[in-house]
Each structure stands twice: as structure tokens, then as C-alpha cells.
């Protein structure tokens, strides 16, 4: 089973690069951040406070989550692809992702997905460190905070740059500071600073690293 782990903070270029690498090497792609977002979405929809750890964990275990190959995300039979990217979910997701019981459930589902698909390109924060420490290739993408905020504010055009930059700083602190599987590069990860690289250049580097690894 071939797993390529692509980790890094928001705005590092992970999603774009992971999708392009998946296309280039012919493996399926999984956005694990969308899974944590789906838990936050399900919790909000069922009227749970993201801080209610036990209740949110119970929702994570019982929810039907379908990460489809066409990129859509279905939660309890509802297409949540748009709403999981919205401001409400984005505000709540770091708290949900710091919940150990939620993480344990999502890791099980991520491993099951990889087995079912015979491997894949998996994008997240802890894929190389915790979910698949034996991945064939681990990549950690990073970029300067101003570049990351700039990229995000081009995606979310209705928010001011300052709002986006503050949100990224807040999420970085929560993701890096949490006790359970904090965001960090695995010791054997290929670390790429994407600040001054084009998508094609980053994908080239990842594919060359994969050629060297296999």
C-alpha cells in the first residue's frame, strides 16, 4: 500500500499540491482537514457546542461521513461540501480537532480509507507523524505567514486580509500547541518552503522525492 503524506499549516499549498501529486502518480486523494471540518459541521447542525468534548466525540463516532472520489463531502446523507468551508465551521474546527476522542475516530477512518483504496495521497497535519508514520513519502509544506495569509485571502474574497491573517495565526497556535498530535514535521519528512515556488515547481519536487524514495 503506497501512502504519500502531505502535512503543513493552512495556506502552505497542501491541497493544491496534494491533488496535483495524486493526479500525477495516479493515486486517490484524501483531504483529512475536510473530515475534521465535517465533524464540526455535524456538531453545529445537531446543536452541540464545540466545547462539549464528550458530545462532539459521540457525534464523530456516530456520523455517516462519505469522502467521495469526486471531491464532495457528505455528512449524514447531506452534501456538506460548501458549508464545511464556511466561517462558522472554520471558527469551530480547531477546538473539534483538539479533541482526542475525535482524533482517534478520524485516524481509524483515515486508515480504513487508505486500506480500502490501496493507498493514496493524504493531506493533513499529522499524517506523517501519527496516522501513517511508515508512509512511503512524507512531505511537509510550509510558507511565510504573510504568503499563507495572502493565498487564503485570495480564496476567501469576502474577508479582509487582516481578518484572514489573524485567523491563520489563531489556527496555527491551536494546531501547533495542542497536546494530541500537534502540527509538526516528521523527522524524516521532505520539508519544502513553498513561499517563492510555483505549484508546478512544488509538484516536481514532491514527484522527484517520490522517485528517490521508491
The site for ligand DC (CB under 6 A) is made up of 10, 32-33, 36-37, 93-94, 97, 124-127, 171, 175
**N-to-C CA span, the chain:** 12
> What 8-state DSSP symbol labels residue 127?
I
3-state class (DSSP) for residue 214:
coil
Q: Quick one: 9 or 210, whose CB is closer to ligand DC?
A: 9
Say how many C-beta atoms besides its own lie within 10 A of residue 106's C-beta.
Answer: 23
Locate 132 and state its grid cell.
501513517
Q: How far is the CB of 93 from ligand DC (least distance, A)?
A: 4
Q: How far is the CB of 23 from ligand DC (least distance, A)?
A: 19
Q: Quick one: 94 or 203, whose CB is closer to ligand DC?
A: 94
Helix then strand then coil, in percent of the chain rounded to 5, is: 55, 15, 30
Q: Quick one: 67 or 127, whose CB is closer to ligand DC?
A: 127
User: What is the 3 state secondary structure string of 15-65?
Assistant: HHHHHHHHHHHCCCEEEHHHHHHHHHHHHHHCCCCCCCHHHHHHHHHHCCE
Q: Quick one: 44 or 127, whose CB is closer to ligand DC?
A: 127
Q: How far is the CB of 211 from ligand DC (least distance, A)?
A: 26
Q: How far is the CB of 48 from ligand DC (least distance, A)?
A: 17
| b (16+ CB within 10 A) / e for 168-187 | beebbebbeebeebebebbe
Q: Quick one: 13 or 210, whose CB is closer to ligand DC?
A: 13
Q: How far is the CB of 100 from ligand DC (least distance, A)?
A: 11
Amino acid at each position: 500500500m503506497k501512502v504519500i503524506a502531505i502535512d503543513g499549516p493552512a495556506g502552505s499549498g497542501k491541497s493544491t499540491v496534494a491533488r496535483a501529486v495524486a493526479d500525477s502518480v495516479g493515486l486517490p486523494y484524501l483531504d483529512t482537514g475536510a473530515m475534521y471540518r465535517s465533524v464540526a459541521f455535524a456538531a453545529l447542525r445537531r446543536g452541540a457546542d464545540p466545547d462539549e468534548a464528550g458530545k462532539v466525540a459521540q457525534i464523530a463516532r456516530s456520523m455517516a461521513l462519505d469522502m467521495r472520489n469526486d471531491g464532495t463531502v457528505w455528512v449524514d446523507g447531506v452534501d456538506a461540501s460548501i458549508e464545511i468551508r464556511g466561517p462558522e465551521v472554520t471558527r469551530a474546527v480547531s477546538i473539534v480537532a483538539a479533541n482526542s476522542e475525535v482524533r482517534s475516530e478520524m485516524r481509524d477512518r483515515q486508515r480504513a480509507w487508505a486500506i480500502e483504496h490501496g493507498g493514496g495521497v493524504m493531506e493533513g497535519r499529522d499524517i506523517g507523524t501519527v496516522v501513517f508514520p511508515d508512509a512511503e513519502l512524507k512531505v511537509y509544506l510550509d510558507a511565510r505567514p504573510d504568503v499563507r495569509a495572502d493565498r487564503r485571502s485570495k480564496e476567501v474574497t469576502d474577508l479582509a486580509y487582516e481578518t484572514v491573517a489573524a485567523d491563520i495565526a489563531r489556527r496555527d497556535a491551536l494546531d501547533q500547541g495542542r497536546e494530541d498530535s500537534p502540527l509538526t514535521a516528521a523527522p524524516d519528512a521532505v520539508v519544502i518552503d513553498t513561499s517563492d515556488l510555483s505549484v508546478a515547481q512544488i509538484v516536481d519536487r514532491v514527484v522527484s522525492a517520490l522517485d528517490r524514495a521508491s
